[in-house]
Structure 1
Amino acid sequence: MKRVLIGVDYNPRSEKVVQEGYNLAKKLGAQVCLIHVLADVSYYGINYPNFMGFEGYNEMQVDLNVISELREVAKKFLLTAAEHLEDPGVTTHLAEGPTSSAILTYSKEWNADLLVLGTHSHSVLEKVLMGTTASRILERTKIPVYLIPVKEA
Structure 2
Amino acid sequence: MPRYQLRPSKPQAVFTAAGAAALLIFGIVQMVRSGEFQWFFVLWVVIGLLVIGGALVQGFGRRPTGMGTATVDDASAPANLRFATGKPMAVIGAVAGAAILIFGVVKMAGTPNSGFLVLWVIFGVAIIAFNLWTAFGRRGASHTATRED
The structure with the largest alpha-carbon Rg is: 2
From the two aligned structures, give the one with the greater helix fraction: 2
Higher relative contact order (CA 8 A, sep 6+): 2
TM-score tier, shorter chain, comes to 0.3 to 0.5
From the two aligned structures, give the one with the greater strand fraction: 1
TM-score by length of 1: 0.31
TM-score by length of 2: 0.32
